Amino acid sequence: MRDLFSGLADNGLGVTLVLLLIAFVAHEPWRWMGLWLGRGVSVDSEIFLWVRLVSTALVAGLVIRVIAFPAGALASIALSSRLLALVCGVVVFLISGRNMAVGVLGGALALAITGFAVGS
């Protein structure tokens, strides 16, 4: 049995499977519990509105953090390019009828174009 685990760890497959299992076990029970607890909550209720506002604020905070304090490859792109991509993404989001996927795609394309054009 020990040889099986050491063999899996050597090729990285075992580590990947263990990490996926840990992520699944840590994440899924909370999702199912939330689904069960929220089954009777109306989408028009005060609590649903509060949850939606808090989640939107968290995402907005994370986006600003990534723009202001980038890590990795994003740090090599100029702040002006990152800010322009943010503005483009928001404009595309609003023009597309508040379609989140289209807005994200617009921002990502603007970031790619300005990142390559300016070259940092």
pLDDT band at 9 (very low <50, low <70, confident <90, very high): low
Domain range list for the chain: 1-40, 41-69, 71-120
Lowest mean pLDDT segment, chosen from 84-93, 97-106, 108-117: 108-117
- Supply 100's token pair: 């989140």
Q: How far apart, in Å, are the Cα atoms of 28 and each of 25, 33, 54, 55?
A: 6, 9, 21, 19
Q: What is the pLDDT averaged over residues 28-55?
A: 89
Rounded distance, CA 51 to CA 3, Å? 48
